[in-house]
Amino acid sequence: MDCIDSAKFSTEKVGIFSNASLIFDIDVKMKEHADILLHSVECLSTRVSQLESRTRQIENVVDDLKESMDFNQGKTDGKLREIKNILVEVLLTS
């Protein structure tokens, strides 16, 4: 896209606006929209960070739950083996 030299259009009139004032108004509006967009992106970034943090928390809780289940399953297996051994002893002695 070719650059437009705003100086050569500054004295021309378009409707009730000169080109210079029209360009100025467009620049102001573009800045307003850019500021709104930047604010929205910052808000989204904050939300994504919160989601990442909460996801890590959930992952840690799930890992803790898995460890707890493995530990409890190990304890249960040990108790079942103990009961089996007792039953085998009872059957062998009777």
**Per-residue pLDDT tens over the stretch 7-31:** 444 455 555 657 888 899 999 999 9
* pLDDT surpassing 90 at residue 49: yes
Q: What count of other Cβ atoms lies within 10 Å of the Cβ of residue 71?
A: 10
Q: What is the pLDDT of residue 47?
A: 96
Which tokens go with 9? 């259009």
The model's pTM is 0.55
Candidates 28, 1, 23, 25; CA nearest to 12 is: 23
Contact of 49 with 56, CB cutoff 8 Å: no
Residues paired with 18 in a beta bridge: 13
Instruction: Tell me how far apart the alpha carbons of residues 49 and 40 are, in angstroms, rounded to a whole number.
Output: 14
Task: Tell me the mean pLDDT in the region 55-74.
Answer: 91
